[in-house]
Structure formats: C-alpha cells, structure tokens
Amino acid sequence: MKILLVQPAKPEKALGGEDFAIYEPLALEYLAAGVSGDHDVRIIDMRIDHDIASHLHEYRPNVVGITSYTVHVNTVKKLFQQIKALNPDIVTVVGGHHATIVPSDFYTSYIDVIITGEGVFPFREVIARLENKMDLSDIPGAVTEGNSAVVINQKDQNTDLDALPFPRRDLTAGYRKSYYSEWMRPLASIRTSKGCHFRCQFCALWKLTGGRYFTRKPEYIVEELSTIEEKYVFFSDDESLLDTKRMEALADLIRTTGINKRYFLYGRSDTISRHPDLIEKWKDIGLERVFVGLEFMRDADLNLIRKGSTVANNIRAIQVLKGLDIEIFPMFIVKPEFEKKDFAELRKYCLGLELDFIGFSVLTPLPGTDLYDDVKDRLINFNYDYFDFFHTLLPTTLPVKDFYSELVALYNGSRSLKSQIKLMRKYRLRELPSLFKIYGDFIKRLKTLEQDYAAIPLKGSS
C-alpha cells in the first residue's frame, strides 16, 4: 500500500511553532517504521514543503495519516477535506496529541479513522486490515463515532517504549538540514521517556500516562544515538531528568561508547538544583542547552499552577547551569490579568537573572488540562488557530492593545545588551541576518496581535 504521512504547518494566524524552531516529525517517523516492509511510505513536512496537492497527484496514496496538536485542528480538517475531494477512496487517519485528548473534534465525514494514544501499533493494525480488506471496527478498542469514523481508543496507559521500532529518519532525508532550534542546526530528535510525575495545572501530558513516567533502557537509546548523523540532538521528552539514576547510567554509557554529540533537553529546576553532579556529568558528554520552565517569579503563582517547585529552586538551577557554562532556555508565563506593574517587575527580575535568552508565553488553557476545566466558562475565543501560547484566550486586565505593548517591551527589555551579544556569538556569522529577520518578524507580528481581537469583547479592551 502507498501510505502518506503528513506533518501539518501551523495556521497563518498562529504565532510561534516553526516561526522559531522546526523539530523533526518524530511521531511520523515512528509510524513509518511500524508499517515498513512491503508498504511504500512517504513523509511530507508541510512546515517546509507546502505543496501537498502535487504530492497527492504524483504519489496517489491509498492512506493519508496526519498528526495534530490543538493549534493544528482546523488546518488538519481542511487538509482532509481537500484530500477526500481529490479522491474519496483515500483512507484518512488522524492521530497525535489533540486526537488523544478530544477525538470528537475530528468527527467529520472526511476523516475515516481516529487513533488515540501511542499510534505505532494501532496504525500498523489499521494498515494490515485495510490491505486484507478486513473490518476496522474489530480492532481492540475500536468504536464507531460521529459520521461513521472509527475511533481506536487505547485504555491501557502502560507503555513499553523499548518495544517501539527505531524511527525511519531516512524518510525525512530531504528535510533534515532544515530542522533546527536557534543555532543548533541541523538538529535531530530522540525520545527517551514519556510522561511526568508532577501535576501542573496547565499541562495535559501527565494525564496521558496517568501520572506515570515511562523510560527507555540506556542501551537502546545509545544504539539509536549511534545511527543519528546530526551533531545536535534534542531530547523530545515530556521531562528528561526525572529518573536521575537512569540519566546517570545513560551518561556513563554514552561516554563509554564514545558518542560525540551536543544535547538539548528539558529539565525541571528542582531536579537541576538538587542534582548538580548529574548535570556536570552530562556537561562532560555534550549537554549544551537545557529548557527550564521557570514559569513565575513568585512562589504564590507557582503554587497556583501546582508546579511543585519554588523560586529558590529556579535561582539555584540557573546558578548550576551558569556555573557549568550550559546555555539556559528559560520560559516564563504571562497571565492575562497582569497589570503594568507586573510586567515592569518581571522585566526587572529577568534583567537581574542576566540570561542570554528568555521566552515568554501567555497563559493558555489547553483542552485536557485542569486549567481548561477551571476557566472554560471564561474563554473569549474557542478558535483553535489561536491556541498558540501568544494569543490570550482569557480577558485581559489591561486594554488588549496595552497588554501586547507590554509583552513586546518584555521581550525587548528583559536582557542586557551584553547578554544579547553573548547569544549572537553562538551563531555563525552568516546566520545572523536570518536571526535578526526571525526576531524582527516575530516582534512585528506580536505588535499586531491586538488587531485579532477587534470582534472579540475582551473585558479589558477599550
């Protein structure tokens, strides 16, 4: 069978995503590995290659599968509509995070199959049954919903990550030079764990595993790392450092095998602050950058979102990473109820941290999170195109124009000139024009976000 797997681009109105970084479509590479063999599988990355129509006409697939986060829902449904208009016989399959959280959002006449949870083995089963002209509704966990879509629900949250095949990175060979995050280019991705023990109010990832944390054995990780050609590797885990003993064993094994890579991973500030020796060990084998969700500058706010950490942990984590000369990718959350004094205090606080890079996102209640359940009656916009972590979905205390002016000032004024120059030195000279353009375009768009609310009655808008 001919199987086309599609990584969608973000909607035009959304800010973020591939505006800043493009990570390889690991989920699709896993799906492709699961159905390899006699099947002809292709991957299209529409963040880079926008012309899906040409691929559909030339390749003529039997099955098209598309993955979707919340911000992609409308885009993905339009793509499936386009695909069915071209050939109604193409079997259309959707999966990914949003299909797992709210499968009913994909109950349409032009989507045939909805897969929730880990998709590799259910997708393999779908392909096998289609090839043998068998009924999909007999797949374990399958039910027929909506407009006759087959929804494959996976109730068992136990996940053996080591049972999954290595992803088919060869199918993204034509795109791989375009996968990057800031100066880390080209950038490969690898998954070594899934889930999280913590219960952050704004996150749904822990719910997908029932609060459990599944990990891969270091031996399998190192075996996969040895097949990756790129110098830079991103750990696409929900949280990479939770199992500190595993990470120690993995670091030792990487050192023993002589793998020479530069790593970028997620780490909680409390883990970093309590285990500086582990971070130093990873520094010695190539850890170059750590994404740390600092979230807020006040413990009261951290407690409200059930972060399970403290401002003191944040400060200590920064000290540990700075002391080891590991680049910090910190992220703060801006609440819609921020007033000018809150923006000013956060700007001053960030300047005091002397960080080379800082990211800010607007508090976003994503479906599936406890936050969404708590505030859904207050949402002023249910259009998924705006669930991008920059468009506010809740009323702002400030007039919306002032809110975004303050957010722009936060981005422009939270780092010293010395820190900005230090960051620029990480780039090759030829990459600096692109860096300036990306940031300039981002700020320009951020300044105009308030225009998207012209027809929305924000309480704070004037």
DSSP 215: E
CB 407 within 8 A of CB 360: yes
Q: Which of 169-183, 209-223, 411-425, 447-461 has the weakest average pLDDT?
A: 447-461
Instruction: Record the pTM.
Output: 0.95
Q: Has residue 149 got a pLDDT over 80?
A: yes
What pLDDT digit, counting tens, does each position of 377-424 carry? 999 999 999 999 999 999 999 999 999 999 999 999 999 999 999 999
Q: What would the pLDDT profile of 325-362 be if each residue is shown by its tens digit?
A: 999 999 999 999 999 999 999 999 999 999 999 999 99
* Domain annotation for the chain: domains and CATH numbers: 2-152 (3.40.50.2300), 169-453 (3.80.30.20)
Q: pLDDT-based confidence at 37, cuts 50/70/90?
A: confident
